[in-house]
A and B are shown apart, each in its own frame.
Chain A
């Protein structure tokens, strides 16, 4: 195994981190030209990273590992990296600096002297997802999760000059630090009880002394890891922070929050569960049951809370919790070990969820706010009232996003839900599916409320802020992001050949690793 191969394993991570360093440096330059260049550099880095993954291997099932076996790339890792880079590019578009001094746009304000930092942090947290996707040992996994999380703490705080953002940032940071501690403690128990840090080897260890039950220490470790990851995913029992943090952060950062930590948490959880199942996808009964219970609670808590919210960003926070629940329904089907394409369903849904959210938050950003606080987009239902009539295109984009989140046909959300239900039913998780369908019906309540408020209510009064915002025009990057994501949501819902391409891709990518061990890894041991 030469170093050239090792380099190719972590090439996208290196690309992003190098670009982040460049951006940190660019931030020092006072000139406007440097600030103008920042988002382009970020976008290019992400697109380059995506290209490396798209061209990485023709066969995603092939696994490559580095000599020390701390990184393994298989189908899922490559898919997640591609997806994260693409979503990252959309997030860059959403936070594109368009105001006079290039310190943000109407919905986010990181200040002229922090433009570089903001985009560098964005790249860092995407590279964190990359690391999680590729990680094959506990330490690297933990590092990846934290690399995906820590920049978001800062981004929440610097995203707008308001006390509420500071509060959200601090709250998010402390709770995040706590969850990281729980996660790390859990990992240390896993290490302590098995003596191994290599996921693959731990999986072999579990497979070797397979009695169907975990020892108490192992169980404790797994439970703590799951608890820590549930914070990242915004899943029960650590979902409570989501409302405050989503509301406090500027809207593009909220969009990022709904995708980046969730993805890193979900991927890590899938890997840990794979490991606990001894590499066979069949986890012990009690863990499987726990995942099912968490899924049910997460969906229900998210959706019921969503019905009660007055702030649209809080609604999307609850929707984010609920969607973690749906994803966990998919995971619950994966870990029965009976369905080959259950993980494909989860991966498909992740992409669907990211796209729908970018569309929804993008529309929120472009809608005028009544309050004159800086960097504030439309947030309350009153501010949304009648906006669908005033701005028909934006209204339709939001309607598409909301209907897709509800899971109506002709959108990607429908197929996403279908691909979660299909494996769940075929492995016999009927109860979970029923709970999920009840939840889909509940969630229709608040998604429909958003669409209803935008289209069916009259505009409260012709606000001056609206006309003021019209004058500045709609920033092209945000419009592009909305257009791209809405088009993708619709196209992947209607044009079945396209849906099938993504479906095939996700099903083929549902591979983390495989036993028996490839020779290189055993040689390295």
Chain B
């Protein structure tokens, strides 16, 4: 019963939050998000990490066969459950949500009740995606994330928010309708939407051409969400226009829905068979898109003037690594990829938090207008540099291990091989280049920010121009609340940097099960048909 709580607590919380006063709305949202985190930690505590590949904490439990909840006649009987991969991503979600809500305390002044209600709905939807053990339920929550995010970007975003929100929604929805078609096709062919049943059915029964179309359909929605190279254009815009918390959640968790979907659906349903890997050439194509995304994202990030946009493009590049690790289809690459999802969520989410703090103070994110912030805001600069280093993969911090593993996976993959590995490695270097370039300009060098034009650090030289008043406006360093919301993420960054094994050892067995499905022992093992179905399928 712990897992449904992950959805129910935030949903009920959002419902109640609509009726509290505007002032208490934020505190209420924080409490609800912490309660959800507590439920997730409770789930983690009762999770048996020795059997991490087994789906645990299922609800309704597998033994309750006659739980006729759902739409039995089309085979939809929703069930939730987690293996260690899902559990880690749930933990990432609940770890990022309270800081994101805390970060909105000062910046969201308009219509706070609605804002926090949408944030909680978003939390419920994201948890729902990760804990779904049912294909259709996965899709339902996957789509549900669009609605709160659309409003969060569109109402509380930057100057181009309407366009950004619409583009975000239409791109993602346009891709995922094909995913829906593929999901329903799989469901009615397998007579069940249960993930295990569907996967087994796809691997054992679907013909090659059927699998091919299913693969394309699934990929259409997930590739947009990730986003892979040609369909990434919504992302920089959405990131730039979203409010801070929106960017944090978007980069931290929403993009992971795409990669998680690739891992959970595309790899086992589309690519892996009991005998080996299907669609040899397609993996080249997928890997090629990743490499293009890595290099293109990095190069475009290099020339950005807006810090937030720079980090947004860096996400395009980073997610390329993540998918490259999946496309390697070996244990190293995929473990690296899962670790990458968590690490990218932490470091990029934290980057957006810090950038939000800069923006709150100076109302600009332009690299040309900001310089030498370390002199004025040393504590903020510390966290900025810290998360930047984690993002470019400094050894000892979290990013290093996962980046290394995904590139190593590409090198050792018997499909992708050295060419892909080399190009990805170039992307690693580029990643360090643009991040360091930006940090050098914004954090170090002579102090400069809007309203401060003088060379004197003490602000005496600023008064010549019209900005007399603003030059002395108090720009304070980050306070206890802001440090408090960054610290847990920083702790996670260091922990995962020193002890990546704590995650890697637990995700090894589910990945092994993904890559080496049990071959069909006999025809009697074929999909369990527990219910007599009313549907007359064209196929026997």
Q: Which A positions have Cβ atoms within 8 angstroms of B?
A: 338-341, 389, 392, 403, 406-410, 414-415, 417-419, 421-423, 425-428, 430, 433-434, 437-438, 440-441, 444-445, 448-449, 451-452, 455-457, 496-497, 499-500, 503-504, 507
Contact = CB atoms under 8 A, between A and B. Distances in A.
B166 A408 contact: no
Nearest to A434: B181
A440 B174 CA distance: 8
A421 B184 contact: yes
Contact of B144 (A339, A409, A448): A409
Interface stretch (B69-77, B265-273, B296-304, B519-527): B69-77
Given A425-B181, A444-B169, A457-B162, A503 B154 contact: no
> At the interface, is chain B mostly helix, strand, loop or mixed?
helix
B177 A448 contact: no
B491 interface: no
A341 B161 contact: no
A430 B178 CA distance: 11
A140 B478 CA distance: 79
A508 to B, nearest CB: 10
The 10 closest A-B CB pairs, nearest first, are A409-B140, A441-B174, A437-B177, A456-B154, A456-B162, A426-B537, A409-B143, A444-B173, A440-B177, A428-B538
Interface centre among B74, B140, B144, B166 (most CB of A within 10 A): B74
A451 B71 CA distance: 30
A499 B68 CA distance: 13
Given A339-B536, A441-B170, A503-B71, A408 B181 contact: no
A410 B144 contact: yes
B536 A338 contact: yes
B146 interface: yes
A209 to B, nearest CB: 27
Contacts of B188: 422, 425-426
> At the interface, is chain A mostly helix, strand, loop or mixed?
helix
Interface in B167-220: 169-170, 173-174, 177-178, 180-181, 184-185, 187-188, 213
B169 A448 contact: yes
B535 A426 contact: yes
Give the interface size class of chain B: 35 or more
A409 B139 contact: yes
A422 B173 contact: no
B174 A455 contact: no
A127 to B, nearest CB: 33
Contact of B174 (A444, A449, A452): A444
Given A444-B169, A445-B170, A452-B166, A338 B184 contact: no
Interface in B55-88: 69-74, 78
Interface in B129-153: 136, 139-141, 143-144, 146-147, 150-151
B73 A448 contact: no
A338 B178 contact: no
Contact of B535 (A339, A414, A433, A438): A339
B534 interface: yes
Contact of A426 (B114, B139, B144, B536): B536
Given A421-B181, A452-B166, A455-B155, A500 B535 contact: no
B181 A437 contact: yes
A340 B151 CA distance: 41
A423 B177 contact: no
Interface centre among B136, B141, B185 (most CB of A within 10 A): B185
Given A426-B188, A500-B71, A507-B73, 7 more contacts: A406-B173, A428-B538, A430-B185, A444-B174, A452-B154, A500-B72, A504-B73
